[in-house]
Every structure is written in C-alpha cells, then in structure tokens.
Amino acid sequence: MATNLKKLIGLTTLAALTPFSLAGGQALSPREALLRSMQRVFPVNVAAIIVQRDPANEGTYQTVRVERDRGGRVHHTILQPLRLAGVESVDDGERSKIYFPDRNLLIDQDSPQQSPCDADWRINLASQNYSFKFGEPVRIAGRNTLCVTAVPRNSAMDVRRYYIDERTYYPLRLESVADNGARTVFYDTKDIRYLASIGASRFKLQPVGTPQTLVYSKPPTLNSRSAYTKMGFQPLMPVNMPMGFRLQEMQLSEAGRWKSVALRISDGLVRATVYQWLARGSNFNVKSIENSTPAEYRGVRLLLVSDLSPRLREQLLSAFIERAEAQPQVLLRIAQTQSPTDPLGLEPTTLVPTLTRVETLRAIGIEARKPQSPREPAAIGGSLLRRH
Amino acid sequence: MNCKTAQDLMSAYLDRELVGRELADMRAHLGSCQACTEEYEAMSSLKHLLGGLQVPEPTPDFEQRLVASVIRSRPDELRTPERLPVRRYNLFAFAGIAACSMALTMSFLSASGRPDPVAAPVKDKNIAFEVQRDQIYATGSDPMSGAPVISASDYGDQP
C-alpha cells in the first residue's frame, strides 16, 4: 500500500515537473507541444504585455496587459489605444467580468472555464485537418520558443504558426500565412515574466461607484429538437462542413429582445460561431461587427464570426445555405405558422411562400452570378452580404 | 477633484484624452457627483447624436461643377493674382454661405419627418453588442483562439 502511494506521489511529481525537465521541449512531438499550449492552466504565474488585433479596426493593434496565475485566473487590462485604455476583464474561474470605466458598465457572466477544457477534442480534430512540424524557432520577449507550424490539408486554409515558450509551453505568438505569403499576426508578446506569485486582489475588479451591471448565465446547450422549440425554426446545419470544420456545440444565445442559436464550430485550430435567428422585426445591418460575414435565407439570418479571412468566412457560410437549398423544408419549419393541425409547424409547403431562387435574389437586391475565381463561392439561393 | 475642474476636463474625458491621475480622479468624481454625472451623460448623448448624423455624399462631378461655377461667376478676379485680398474676402464669404447652407440643410432634414438618424442603428448595436459579448464567452481567455481577449467596447448602446 505504502509502495503504491509512493509510486503515485512519484508519478504526480514527475508529471508536474515534466514541462521543465524536457530541455528545449524537443522530446515532444509538435502535436504534443501544441496540445500543452492549448491548456487553460499553465504551471507558472504569468505577467505579460501582448499586442493583438484591435477588434474595432482590423489591421491595427491594441496593447493588453495579461496576468494569469497557476490556478487559471486571468486579468486583462487594455493599455492602448486610448479609446479603450482602462477596460479590464477578470475571469476567476467562476465569473467572467468586464468593466468599461468610461460608461461605468460591468458585464458579469458565467466563466467559460466552467465548461470542460476542449483541448483534447480540438487537437484530435486538428490532427485530421493539419499536419504539424517544428518550424524555425525565434526569440520572443527574451524567451526561447518552439515554433509549431500547422500546415492545412485543405489548401484554402492558411498555414498557422504557433510560437510557444519552450520551457513553459505558454503561447507567445500566433500568426497565419496565406498562400500568397501574406502574414497576419493575431497576437504577439512584447514582454513576459513568470512571477513567484500574483496577489489575489489582482483578480478582483474595483469599479467606481455602482456600475450598471449586465448579468448573463452560461448559454444553455441545445440539440436539434430543443433548438426548434426555443427558436421556432430548425437551425441550418450542413451534414459535411467544408475545410474539415465540425460542430462542437449548439447553444442558445439569449439577451433582451435578441435570441439566436449559436453553433460553435471548429477545425481544431480555428474557432467560429454561426449565429442564426429569425429576421422578424430586427434590422440586419450588422456590418459594424468585425470578423463577421452575414447572410440571409428565407427569413433566417446568419452571422458567421471568426478570425478567418473574409473569403473563407464566405465559403464556410455558403455551406449552411447550400444545406438549406438541398433541404428547404428544414428552414420552412417556422413556428409563427403553427396551426391546429400542425402544432409544431412541420408542414413546409403551407408555412411560408416558397420563393424561387431568382425571386429570393431579387427580393434582396442581388443578382445571381458566376464565381469569378475557383476559390470564390457561387452566388446561391440565399445571399452572402458581402463586405469589403 | 471639484465640480469646476471636472467641468473643465469633461470634454477631454468624453474624447478619452485623459490619462493617469486625472482619469482616475475624473472617474471617482463622476461616481460621487450626481450633477456632473448628468452633465457627462448629456454631453455623451449629444456626442452620440452628432456622431450618428449621416454625412451627405456629393455627386461625383460636384467638385468639377463647383470650380466651374466659381470661375464663371468671377473669372477676372480668379485669374488676376494681384487681387488676392478680394479673393480671400470671397473665400470667407463662401465659407459663411456654406455654413449657413449646412445649417439650413440640417434644419430641413430634422423638420422634414425623416426618422431620427440615430434611432435606426440602435437595434444593430444591440445585436453587435450581444454578439461581441457572446464571443468573449466563446473564446474565453483562450490565448490560442486568435480572437481579441476583450471586445464589446465599441458597441455602446447595449440593451
């Protein structure tokens, strides 16, 4: 018994020390190194200054101070640009809070860390869609790195490079490289220190006075049936998504007057969300949302949000509309047309005037056209509302 | 910080130009002073209203027509360099007329029954805000997600 206990303690200690005992990390495969960097918890306390893309202005960057302790608690403070300076967020594992001092507004929602870590699921999926290899390492913020290059098996996707601290496996830089050589840096580390400890007060927000507080709970998980019950329509879900994307979870995103189905999809490395909601009474001019591509199909509006390029977002979103083209009855199950003989609104032909493809295009002011290049999706029965 | 100082700095605060101690003092004062908070909210609303006004786009040939029209009206003055003071005077007059014209246009637009130019995008902003907030949840604090760690800040008219 005592021997087994000693073995257990020994193994636990070994597991805890493994990240530091592997000199240079070269004993790990690229896949394993990437998996370690996907974890929510790292064996070190981190204080870093990073730059990342400004959400409101693609192509510009914001500077963020990051504090993350071994327990997974995180504190972000935006330092630049000036219009965002002072915005803070804290995630203590229970609640995730964001404070906007200029408006004295506090968003208080369940921590996403309450959901199980999906690193294993993602790396397995990523292994199907990418091949991994070590690239040329560089020094970032004074740290030696491992460069894990993820080469997509689908040529439409970009190569992604992950620069990971070779001792702690903390991610220091993420960038993508398009087939034309265009390089996009998603975030980069300018300074990083591993602290012995971080005070607990760093993970408590201290708003001025009494802020206006918006409280949100974890969005409930839906299946196809419950989505229909909650939303009044059957969400579009392609059988086979392009570029190796898979559905990770379907959730109900509900706030105020706006309610939508949020389909979390991923190819293992890239995350995306496809929101779908009924168009009734809502304005669809959502061009102000960065990293998004909207579409509309027979009264259902779709919005894909992801850090993918606009071309890839359109291609991915097209699959959802092609699904509707193939099985129009799916979308025609609209709850507003319930009748005594069809309490669930499952009689497609009696529910909504069926528009032809041309009528649909005319109704939204877009003419059908042939794709201009092999990579461009064809205009289809629904419409992608193009943004450039 | 007292109310007078707060009033002096209000405009800079609204434009997010304050930093450091002044910014902290200003926030603290607004958290405790009802009058200044109301003043700030009024100025903030005014700023949003003005920011939401649609700027009419001139027609593509506007510049060409304008230049041609000015040259037709005073060809001699514009072609004679030594009469610069007169031209400057005309520019001031032109600027005055343009300002009056803009004011009249704004008055006409506001009185002609057009919908409030700020009212329309409010719903969009709600959706934008909720999407951004949901994205914060979806990406969490995952540094590998590629998504910004904090957003939802530029979509002010939350539900």
CB contact under 8 A, A84 and B32: no
| Token pair of A171 as six digits | 């991610």
| Token pair of A113 as six digits | 């860390």
B152 contact residues in A (CB cutoff 8 A): 98, 107
* ∠ Cα A264 A248 A286 (to 5°): 10
**Which member of A83, A87, A275 has the closest CB to residue B150?**
A87
Does residue B40 lie within any of the structural domains? Answer: yes
Look up tokens 């005319």; give the residue. A362
CB contact under 8 A, B124 and A264: no
Look up tokens 């008055």; give the residue. B107
* Between A10 and A34, the higher pLDDT residue: A34
Q: What is the DSSP letter of A24?
A: G
Average pLDDT, chain A: 76
- What φ, ψ does residue A347 adopt, rounded to 5°? -100, 95
Between the ranges A23-27, A281-285, B64-68, B128-132, where is the mean pLDDT highest?
B64-68
Is residue A206 predicted with pLDDT exceeding 70?
yes
For residue A300, the enclosing domain spans 219-384
Q: What's the farthest any 2 CA atoms get from each other in chain B?
A: 69
Name residues whose C-beta falls within 8 Å of residue A231's C-beta, 6 or more positions apart in sequence: A252, A259, A260, A261, A276, A277, A278, A335
Which residues face A186 on adjacent strands? none
- One-letter amino acid at B129 equals F
Which residues face A326 on adjacent strands? none
| Residue B108 burial (10 A CB sphere; 0-12, 13-18, 19+) | exposed
- Residues B19 and B25: their CA atoms lie apart, in Å, by 10
A208 reaches B (C-beta below 8 A): yes
Q: Residue A130: CA atoms inside 13 Å, Cβ hemisphere, count?
A: 27
Does residue B30 lie within any of the structural domains? Answer: yes
B12 reaches A (C-beta below 8 A): no
Judge if A196 and A229 occupy the same domain. Answer: no
Judge if B45 and B82 occupy the same domain. Answer: no
Optimal mutation site among B127, B136, B139, B154, interface A, most CBs of chain A within 10 A = B127
Which residue in chain B has the smallest CA separation from A263?
B138
- Residues A332 and B109: their CA atoms lie apart, in Å, by 42
Q: What is the pLDDT of residue B22?
A: 84
Optimal mutation site among B149, B157, B158, interface A, most CBs of chain A within 10 A = B149
Is residue B39 predicted with pLDDT exceeding 80?
yes
Q: Where are the alpha helices (DSSP H) in A147-283?
A: 224-231
Tally the domains of chain A.
Answer: 2
B146 reaches A (C-beta below 8 A): yes
Residue A58 near residue A186, CB atoms below 8 Å: no
Give the pLDDT band of residue A372 (cuts 50, 70, 90): very low
Nearest to B126 by CA among A308, A255, A309, A74: A255
B18 reaches A (C-beta below 8 A): no
Does residue A209 lie within any of the structural domains? Answer: no
Overall average pLDDT of the A47-75 stretch:
84
Optimal mutation site among B27, B33, B134, interface A, most CBs of chain A within 10 A = B134
- Residues A41 and A114: their CA atoms lie apart, in Å, by 13
CB contact under 8 A, A288 and B153: no
B147 contact residues in A (CB cutoff 8 A): 271, 291, 307
pLDDT tens-digit map of A258-289: 788 999 999 999 999 999 888 765 555 554 56
Overall average pLDDT of the A237-250 stretch:
88
Residue A354 near residue A260, CB atoms below 8 Å: no
| Residue B65 burial (10 A CB sphere; 0-12, 13-18, 19+) | exposed
Does residue B83 lie within any of the structural domains? Answer: yes
CB contact under 8 A, A273 and B135: yes
Judge if A115 and A6 occupy the same domain. Answer: yes
Does residue B159 lie within any of the structural domains? Answer: no
CB contact under 8 A, B130 and A257: no
CB contact under 8 A, A292 and B144: no
Q: What is the DSSP letter of A287?
A: T
Q: What is the pLDDT of residue B141?
A: 60
- Residues A309 and A312: their CA atoms lie apart, in Å, by 5
Nearest to A91 by CA among A122, A115, A61: A115
* Between B60 and A210, the higher pLDDT residue: A210
CB contact under 8 A, B128 and A96: no
Judge if B130 and B95 occupy the same domain. Answer: no
CB contact under 8 A, A187 and B143: yes
Q: Which helix (H) or strand (E) holds A291?
A: none
* Residue B113 three-state SS: coil
A138 CA: distance to closest CA in chain B (Å): 18
Judge if A123 and A37 occupy the same domain. Answer: yes
Judge if A193 and A227 occupy the same domain. Answer: no
Optimal mutation site among A38, A158, A257, A283, interface B, most CBs of chain B within 10 A = A283
Judge if A189 and A264 occupy the same domain. Answer: no
Q: How many CB pairs under 8 A join A and B?
A: 163
Judge if A49 and A182 occupy the same domain. Answer: yes
- Residues A171 and A119: their CA atoms lie apart, in Å, by 14
Is residue B64 predicted with pLDDT exceeding 70?
yes
Which residues face A145 on adjacent strands? A165
Does residue A316 lie within any of the structural domains? Answer: yes
- Residues A252 and A227: their CA atoms lie apart, in Å, by 8
| Token pair of A149 as six digits | 């290059």
For residue B135, the enclosing domain spans 120-154
Look up tokens 């707060």; give the residue. B6
β-pairing, A292-297 vs A300-306, is antiparallel
Q: What is the pLDDT of residue B152?
A: 56
Nearest to A222 by CA among A233, A212, A211: A233
* Between A263 and A57, the higher pLDDT residue: A263
pLDDT tens-digit map of A326-344: 665 555 443 333 333 333 3
Does residue A55 lie within any of the structural domains? Answer: yes
Overall average pLDDT of the A45-72 stretch:
84
Give the pLDDT band of residue A347 (cuts 50, 70, 90): very low
% of chain A surpassing 90 pLDDT: 34
Between the ranges A100-104, A243-247, B18-22, B57-61, where is the mean pLDDT highest?
A243-247
CB contact under 8 A, B154 and A56: yes
**Which member of B126, B141, B148 has the closest CB to residue A258?**
B126
Judge if A297 and A175 occupy the same domain. Answer: no
Q: What is the pLDDT of residue A263?
A: 92
Q: Which of A78-92, A281-295, B39-53, B66-80 has the lowest mean pLDDT?
A: A281-295
Is residue A8 predicted with pLDDT exceeding 90?
no
B155 contact residues in A (CB cutoff 8 A): 288
Q: What is the pLDDT of residue B95?
A: 64
Q: Around Cβ A243, how many Cβ atoms within 10 Å? A: 18
What is the radius of gyration, based on Cα positions, of chain A?
23
Judge if B30 and B68 occupy the same domain. Answer: no
Q: Which of A88-97, A256-265, B77-86, B122-131 has the lowest mean pLDDT?
A: B77-86
Predicted ipTM > 0.90: no
B76 CA: distance to closest CA in chain A (Å): 46
Does residue A214 lie within any of the structural domains? Answer: no
Cα distances (angstroms) measured from residue A296 to each of A131, A250, A309, A325, A330: 35, 19, 20, 12, 15
Torsion angle (degrees, nearest 10) of CA B149, B153, B155, B157: 130
CB contact under 8 A, A55 and B132: yes
- Residues A106 and A287: their CA atoms lie apart, in Å, by 25
Residue A49 near residue A43, CB atoms below 8 Å: no
The CATH number given to whatever domain includes residue A253 is 3.30.200.100
Name residues whose C-beta falls within 8 Å of residue A254's C-beta, 6 or more positions apart in sequence: A219, A260
B51 reaches A (C-beta below 8 A): no
Q: Around Cβ A212, how many Cβ atoms within 10 Å? A: 12
Q: Around Cβ B9, how many Cβ atoms within 10 Å? A: 18
% of chain A surpassing 70 pLDDT: 72
Optimal mutation site among B10, B13, B17, B151, interface A, most CBs of chain A within 10 A = B151
A56 CA: distance to closest CA in chain B (Å): 7
Residue A230 near residue A252, CB atoms below 8 Å: yes
Judge if A129 and A54 occupy the same domain. Answer: yes
Does residue A296 lie within any of the structural domains? Answer: yes
Tally the domains of chain B.
Answer: 3
Q: Residue A306: CA atoms inside 13 Å, Cβ hemisphere, count?
A: 28
